[in-house]
Structure 1
């Protein structure tokens, strides 16, 4: 099973970084790639929030995902749901840990490609690593500059 894991330190508190990066309705503002982000359903019970949402990218591709937020441990667990292609599955885990400089934000993506997808795995892994690092750097910049405020 391929795994992508990238971390970055953001100069802000973990709760602040967690709240901003998990505000899905604002993803089109904080991620360069999303043209549209819509929360389909959201239920909060105690420390947990379960969210179903739809995303669309600049090329018009869209998909639905599911996410659970643990507000106490500051962890988000998610999976892509429909359509899955080009993946057989895509599971994500975002965690936020306090460090002296602010927050260590770590994103882990476990996935398997659909056998019909013709791009080699090494190419996909490299693209995903570059893409994730770009997104994390953009979020860091937006949060630290105050552009992605509360």
Structure 2
């Protein structure tokens, strides 16, 4: 099973990082590749929130995913639901842990490519790893600078 795992330190408290990075409707601000994010269903009970949502990329492709937020442990687990392609499955785990400098945000992606996907696994791994590092760095900069909150407020008004 292929795995991508990357961490970054963000100079904000874990609760702030967890809340911002799991605000799905803010993803078009946080991630360059998402041009649309829509919550289809939200269920909250105690420390957990389950989200079913749809993402749209720059090319207009959409897919549905589900995400379980553990607000107490500050862990998000997710999986892509449909369409799965180019994956046979995609499971994600995001954690936010207190660190001396703020928050250690770790993303783990376990997946299997669809056998019909034309690119070889090493190419996909390199591309996904580089993309994850870029996304984490962009998110770090937007959270630390306050830009994530400013852009979210502008999007609402």
Task: Place the TM-score, normalised by the shorter chain, in its bin.
Answer: over 0.9
Pairing 1:37–2:41 present:
no
SS for the counterpart of 1:148 is: helix
Aligned pairs (5 A) from 1:16-27? 16-27=16-27
Partner residue in 2 for 1:133: 133
Q: What root-mean-square deviation, in Å, do the aligned CA atoms of Structure 1 and Structure 2 show?
A: 0.8
Provide structure 1 residue ranges, at least 5 long, that are not aligned to the other structure: none
TM normalised by structure 2 equals: 0.94
Aligned pairs (5 A) from 1:42-121? 42-121=42-121
Query: Higher helix proportion, which one?
Result: 2
Partner residue in 2 for 1:143: 143
**Whole-angstrom distance in 2 between the partners of 1:147 and 1:102:** 18
Listed one character per residue, the Cα deviations across residues 23-82 of structure 1 (whole Å, up to 9, x for unaligned) are: 001111111110000000001100000000000000111100000000000000000000
Listed one character per residue, the Cα deviations across residues 62-121 of structure 1 (whole Å, up to 9, x for unaligned) are: 100000000000000000000000100000000000000000000000000010001000
TM normalised by structure 1 equals: 0.99
**Whole-angstrom distance in 2 between the partners of 1:109 and 1:30:** 18
Moved beyond 4 Å, runs of 4+: none
